[in-house]
Amino acid sequence: MDLKKGKLICASLTLLLFIPLIFTSCKKTGVSQNNNGTKNSDTTKVTTNAINPLANANAAYDGFVGAFVVRSGGNTFITNGLVDRSTAYMWGQGFMITALEDAYDRTKSGDRKQLVSDLLNTFITNNGTDWSWDSWNDDVAWAIIPFIRGYQITANPVFLNIAAQNWKMAWTRGWDNVTGGGIWENQDKLSKAALSNDPSIIAGCFLYESTGDTSYLNKCKLIYGWVRNSLFNDTTGVVNEALTTTGMLQPSDNAYNCGSFINAATSLYKLTNNKQYYDDAILAADHIVTKFGVMNEEADGCVRAIAKLASENNLGAKYNPWLVRQCIASWNNRRTDYNITNNDWRDPTPAGEQYAMQCISAVTVQSVTPEAAMITVPDGSYKIVSRSSSLALNADGVDNNTPLNIETYSNTIGQHWALTGLGGGLYKLLNVGSSKSINLSGNSGDNNAALILWDYNSAGNELVYFSSAATGYYSMFVVNSGKALTVNGTDQGAAIVQSAYTESSNQQWQFLKP
């Protein structure tokens, strides 16, 4: 993402030692039963609890509000940061209010509704009702969205009128036929960008839903057609940054642009039932899910869009597991003094200054992801066998950096593994022979990064959680990457790496008594 023309400030801070907290207590089970109900001492019994419970979503919301929302002198606003207590700039204020509206949608709480209303009223106090003073059309679009959604939440007609007035203003000044259409990012007219066009579609679709005025929908179709023809790669799902005045493409591949495109396409599909929009949304969403095991850049629009695509089109089975991974990683890497998480969900959020815009995505993902069933496995000592080869998870040494592989089971202590639940579906997995933990080498987010032994220190690149693709077999995911433990081959000595989850047999493991 282009960090919005320098308005979003980033800080370089020292990382604290991360100590993950437990989400909830997990029920442990004893001896399992097979399908005919008889006892089986060689397998585990699976139980389920919510892996992204409402309690976590509430805590993330409360943490953000406690850290960044200020009520003073009758005004309510979101600050820039924990230290910088000045009011966040116009577009950022709107962007973050939208996420708090997501949190309202999950609970329908009267207190949350009132906060939305108070924030929007203070926004009016600070920015007026006519936003033509801001020459950035993307700023205006991101401010319109919380106002039209605020109208849908509160039924306050003032919010609707402001949204409609400013959408029409931005369209009138922003759209022309240079480069074949599209809305200028800025009225300096240097480029037409994804970040000015896609949010305008999102806002326009909400306005059509609220008013029934087809002019909004027709203009949204025009904008989308320009984006699809000019910026969208219909082979890869990538959404590029912009076209310049001369028609030169500015390439990019980020979650911000892709997320707003997915949302725009999904919104238009809902309103028109034109399958082209659906197919485009799927292609872009699949690109994001493949690219990011766990998000490490701004994710607000992306997770909201994929959750919308899933919930409105019965695609939960396809996308909710990915959303759940984001919930686990963002929660597990939060700062526990505030329950806030910055945009890199693969590493602990450091102490010192944190900026509200860098922390809002973690609120969004917890709010828009439905509760999903987690799989729990009893604590105990196991041999762990790969489904693809029937060979056992193995460590050939006891030192740090010892690589993990598969070997014929020979009952050695290097093939015995102690599984311990930490709550909330998270586990540590220690090698009995060395008392060292499985560890994602370098805390990498890349496919084919190696799994090794390392001294256990509770970090997210050592913690795993489970899913089940087949009865009796479980897939293990590294918290910080969201990728699955995978056997890189079927022969003796094949290495254990992480890779994107495909439900393949080399990502499935059987937990058996040694």
Instruction: Look at residue 271 and tell me if it is in a domain.
Output: yes
Same domain, 121 and 163: yes
Range of lowest pLDDT (54-58, 112-116, 257-261, 495-499): 54-58
Considering the domain architecture, whether residues 363 and 465 belong to the same structural domain is answered as no
100 and 135 housed in the same domain: yes
Taking the alpha carbons of 60, 296, 419, 337 in that order, is the dihedral positive or negative?
Answer: negative
Confidence tier at 226 by pLDDT (50, 70, 90)? very high
Asked if pLDDT for residue 8 goes beyond 50, the answer is no
Q: How many domains would you assign to the chain?
A: 2
Give the integer Cα–Cα distance in Å for 407 and 391. 5
pLDDT for 321: 87
Contact (Cβ atoms closer than 8 angstroms) between residue 239 and residue 194? yes
For residues 180 and 30, which has the higher predicted lDDT (pLDDT)?
Answer: 180
Name the helix (H) or strand (E) containing 39.
Answer: strand 39-44
Q: How far apart are CA 464 and CA 445, in angstroms?
A: 14
Please state, for a pLDDT cut of 70, what percent of the chain lies above it.
89
Kindly state the percentage of the chain with pLDDT values over 90: 82
310 and 430 share one domain = no
Boundary (domain end) residue, out of 352, 372, 392: 372
Average of pLDDT values for 493-500? 95
Domain end marker among 349, 372, 395? 372
424 with 321, same domain: the answer is no
Edge-to-edge order in the sheet of strand 191-193: 191-193, 242-244, 249-250
Asked if residue 22 belongs to a domain, the reply is no
Verify that 174 and 266 share a domain, yes or no: yes
Run of H or E residues at 428: strand 426-431
Residues 224 and 366 grouped into a single domain: yes
Contact 385/496 with Cβ under 8 angstroms?
no
**Which residues are bridge partners to 386 per DSSP?**
509
Residue with tokens 């009520």: 71
Report, as an integer, the average pLDDT of 178-201.
97
CA separation for the pair 8, 274 (Å, rounded): 37
pLDDT confidence bin for 387, thresholds 50/70/90: very high
Contact 160, 151 (CB under 8 A): yes
Helix (H, G, I), strand (E, B) or coil at 212: coil
- The predicted model gives 218-234 an average pLDDT of 98
432 and 472 in a single domain? The answer is yes
Domain of residue 390, residue span: 375-512
Across the chain, mean pLDDT equals 89
pLDDT of residue 40: 34
Q: From residue 83, give the alpha-carbon distance in Å to each of 57, 79, 89, 133.
A: 24, 9, 16, 29
- Does one domain contain both 197 and 208? yes
Can you give the pTM of this predicted structure? Answer: 0.83
Q: Would the pLDDT of 263 be above 60?
A: yes
In this prediction, residue 416 carries a pLDDT of 97
Residue 397 covered by a domain? yes
**pLDDT for position 486:** 97
The answer on pLDDT for 1 being more than 60 is: no
In a domain, 473, yes or no: yes
Is residue 131 situated within a structural domain?
A: yes
- Banded pLDDT at 411 (limits 50, 70, 90): very high
Does residue 469 register a pLDDT over 80?
no
Is the pLDDT at 38 greater than 70, yes or no? no
Q: Residue 52's pLDDT is what?
A: 67
Residue 7 lies in a domain: no
For 470-492, what is each residue's pLDDT tens digit?
Answer: 788 999 999 999 899 999 999 99
Of 372, 395, 420, the one marking the end of a domain is 372
Residue 424 burial (10 A CB sphere; 0-12, 13-18, 19+): buried
Residues 101 and 200: their CA atoms lie apart, in Å, by 18
CB 462 within 8 A of CB 485: no
Query: Which class for 211: exposed (0-12), middle (13-18), buried (19 or more C-beta within 10 A)?
Result: middle
| pLDDT, tens only, 49-92 | 566 678 899 999 999 999 999 999 999 999 999 999 999 999 99
Are the beta carbons of 295 and 310 closer than 8 angstroms? no
pLDDT of residue 373: 66
Predicted pLDDT at 50: 61
Both 434 and 453 in one domain: the answer is yes
Residue 162 has pLDDT above 90, yes or no: yes
Question: In the structure encoding, which two tokens stand for residue 245, read together?
Answer: 């005045």
The more confident residue out of 50 and 346 is 346
CATH code where residue 502 lies: 2.80.10.50
Residue 38 counted as domain residue = no
126 located within any domain: yes
pLDDT at 6: 38
CA distance 301 to 391: 43
In whole angstroms, give the CA distance from residue 184 to residue 163: 19
End-to-end Cα distance, the chain: 49
Q: For the purposes of burial, counting CB atoms within 10 Å of the CB of 500, is it exposed (0-12), middle (13-18) or buried (19 or more)?
A: middle
Q: Which residue has the higher pLDDT, 44 or 424?
A: 424
Shortest CA distance to 383 belongs to which of 429, 437, 439? Answer: 429
261 and 360 together in one domain: yes
Lowest mean pLDDT among 38-52, 92-106, 207-221, 418-432: 38-52
For 75, residues 6+ apart whose C-beta sits below 8 A from its C-beta are 122, 125, 126
310 with 409, same domain?
A: no
Query: Residue 203 is part of a domain; what is its CATH number?
Result: 1.50.10.20
**Are 127 and 140 a contacting pair, CB within 8 Å?**
no
